[in-house]
């Protein structure tokens, strides 16, 4: 074992949270900061090309390639779980949709989980500080942050039909789901800038790497955090085929994501002691909530043929691909500058819920995977996510080997309420697509098909086709009580010098995509760590349908 050095702060994981922390903590030149990342630098072109998103997240060179254990209520399917293994983490391979979640999510964190500093009025200033939106700065949006946020601009008549159908169906329309009206159908924002992906690495980490007090080690696999006398003292990691130890004089911050962070804690002896001991690991701190409370957004999609040749399947023609690629290389504009999923929305299902419980993602394309190859067809895809599932899962160890994947049990649909909401989701999609706005485009329903009508038939389709929207979270939840892992400032309960800062600390999953909330959480964590005065809370006004 080789002792490398001593740093004030060691950050484990250069993902959405870790990149934010690296920038914030290294702004004071007296802080020596080290960030360890298991993956490589983000040199691959498909990472930065927005329309290359499917190639990026299928690339095994920048992906952990996890999968769940068999999900009993999804016909024993193993659910594929791509997670970023590259600087930027999953923000370098995701679909780039920028959504904060509904304001009431955070108010519920404050009230239902006794986390008074996490209501939306206290989170909103950090969302605004983080972003530079091309919509411009106002009460809801930031205009000077490091993260580029761009409103979708790709023109296609199917997007127009989608928005008009929202009005016709009563499902609603919004100019900005992250703004005054966080409900209805809308043009979505993406984490892009000047036609390129703006990952957390691009936005936060790379601008800070010129600082002499910030060090980055890539291809560094963390083995464990060393705990001595109730304090996190050091990190053991493999780099270049050798085991190294590095000391932390102030804090170690675990920011490896909702799947990897609980694994690192358990490999360090922190977690449910009986489970940890099964693998010959010494239990250094019994904390039964580590790996528990796992949550995710399950989605269901419908596919329709399109009667007009307006869909994006034509982009797959070789000469067309070449022309579009050259256009993007020289201008950063055109189809390749889009993530394609430029339309979406928040809606209520038929159940009585206080605020939207379903989220649309819509694309003027029908695609199928044949192995690692994606084939495009003339059609359009409409997906709905269940935003606040009641089912809960867990992360468990399968091995004491840090290179071995952990066991992921989502327990999807273990609560019958979740099944009912996804049956409702299929009906809501059909209601939308049946509106007059789609009359000139609507072809045959390909999946699940017109023969699937009854609730029982729809439920069978849900069980055979529902899939993750890649929003694993909540597995090291923030709060108090026996099953909480971290406190309101993300300090691990019962230990000094150790925090967890990433999507795993959410007490409940937010009603939307997770990249924006994770960066907001990390910005707040930096203020907690450095003892900075928090940003003043801001009570923006909102229009809610109910």
- For residue 536, the number of C-alpha atoms closer than 13 Å in the C-beta half-sphere is 3
Q: How many other C-beta atoms are found inside a 10 Å radius of the C-beta of residue 281?
A: 19
CB 158 within 8 A of CB 379: no
Q: Which two tokens stand for residue 113?
A: 């989980």
Q: Enumerate residues 6+ apart whose C-beta is below 8 A from 434.
A: 442
Give the ranges where 227-362 is alpha helix by DSSP (H): 257-267, 273-277, 318-331
Give me the residue label for tokens 């029908």: 366
β 358-363/270-271 pair status: unpaired
The answer to whether 243 and 236 have CB atoms below 8 angstroms apart is yes
CA 332/CA 164 separation, integer angstroms: 29
| Cα–Cα distance for residue pair 492/8, rounded to 1 Å | 18
Tokens of 198: 């703006």
Instruction: Give the pairing of strands 270-271 and 285-286.
Output: parallel
Q: Is 439 exposed, middle or buried, given 0-12, 13-18 or 19+ CB atoms closer than 10 A?
A: exposed
Read off the tokens for 418.
């979740």
Residue 197 bridge partners (DSSP): 192
CA torsion 152→155→159→161, rounded to 10°? 150
Q: Which two tokens stand for residue 28?
A: 């004071």
Long-range contacts of 426-430 (CB under 8 A, 24+ apart): 426/300, 426/302, 426/384, 426/458, 426/461, 426/462, 427/350, 427/458, 428/171, 428/347, 428/349, 428/350, 428/358, 428/384, 429/302, 429/382, 429/384, 430/302
167 backbone φψ class: left, alpha, beta (φ>0; ψ -120 to 50): alpha
Distance CA 222, CA 236 (A): 6
Q: Which residues are catalytic?
A: 471
Q: Which two tokens stand for residue 102?
A: 């509904």
Q: How far apart are CA 37 and CA 218, in angstroms?
A: 5
Q: Strand, coil or helix: what is 545?
A: coil
């Amino acid at each position: 074992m080789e002792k490398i050095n001593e740093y004030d702060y060691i950050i484990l994981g250069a993902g959405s949270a870790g990149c934010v922390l690296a920038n914030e903590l290294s702004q004071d030149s007296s802080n020596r900061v080290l960030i360890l990342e298991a993956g490589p630098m983000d040199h691959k072109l498909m990472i930065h090309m927005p329309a290359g998103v499917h190639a990026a997240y299928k690339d095994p060179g920048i992906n952990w390639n996890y999968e769940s254990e068999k999900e009993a209520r999804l016909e024993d399917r193993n659910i594929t779980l791509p997670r970023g293994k590259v600087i930027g983490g999953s923000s370098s391979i995701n679909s780039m949709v920028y959504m904060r979640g509904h304001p009431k999510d955070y108010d519920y964190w404050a009230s239902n989980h006794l986390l008074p500093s996490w209501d939306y009025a206290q989170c909103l200033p950090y969302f605004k500080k983080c972003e530079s939106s091309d919509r411009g700065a106002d009460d809801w949006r930031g205009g000077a942050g490091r993260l580029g946020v761009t409103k979708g601009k790709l023109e296609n008549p199917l997007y127009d039909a989608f928005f008009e159908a929202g009005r016709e169906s009563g499902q609603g329309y919004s100019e900005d789901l992250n703004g005054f009206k966080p409900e209805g159908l809308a043009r979505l924002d993406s984490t892009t800038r000047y036609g390129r992906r703006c990952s957390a690495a691009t936005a936060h980490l790379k601008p800070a790497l010129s600082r002499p007090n910030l060090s980055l080690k890539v291809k560094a696999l963390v083995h464990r955090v060393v705990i001595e006398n109730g304090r996190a003292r050091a990190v053991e990691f493999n780099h270049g085929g050798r085991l190294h130890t590095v000391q932390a004089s102030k804090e170690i911050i675990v920011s490896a994501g909702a799947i990897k962070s609980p694994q690192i804690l358990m490999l360090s002896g922190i977690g449910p002691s009986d489970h940890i001991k099964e693998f010959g690991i010494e239990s250094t701190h019994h904390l039964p909530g580590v790996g528990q409370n796992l949550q995710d957004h399950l989605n269901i999609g419908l596919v329709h043929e399109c009667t007009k040749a307006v869909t994006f399947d034509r982009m797959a023609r070789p000469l067309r691909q070449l022309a579009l690629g050259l256009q993007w290389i020289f201008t950063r504009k055109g189809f390749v500058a889009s993530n394609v999923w430029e339309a979406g929305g928040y809606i209520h299902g038929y159940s009585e819920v206080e605020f939207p419980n379903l989220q649309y993602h819509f694309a003027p394309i029908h695609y199928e995977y044949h192995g690692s190859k994606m084939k495009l067809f003339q059609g359009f895809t409409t997906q709905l996510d269940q935003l606040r599932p009641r089912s809960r899962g867990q992360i468990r160890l399968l091995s004491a080997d840090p290179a071995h994947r952990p066991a992921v049990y989502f327990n999807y649909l273990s609560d019958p309420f979740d099944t009912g909401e996804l049956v409702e989701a299929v009906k809501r999609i059909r209601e939308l697509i049946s509106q007059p706005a789609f009359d000139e485009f609507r072809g045959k329903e390909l999946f699940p098909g017109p023969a699937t009508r009854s609730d029982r038939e729809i439920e069978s389709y849900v069980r055979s086709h529902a899939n993750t929207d890649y929003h694993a979270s909540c597995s090291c939840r923030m709060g108090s009580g026996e099953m909480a892992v971290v406190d309101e400032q993300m300090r691990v309960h019962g230990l000094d010098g150790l925090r967890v800062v990433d999507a795993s600390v959410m007490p409940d999953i937010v009603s939307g995509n997770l990249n924006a909330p994770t960066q907001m959480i990390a910005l707040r964590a930096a203020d907690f760590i450095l003892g900075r005065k928090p940003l003043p809370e801001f009570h923006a006004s909102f229009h809610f349908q109910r």
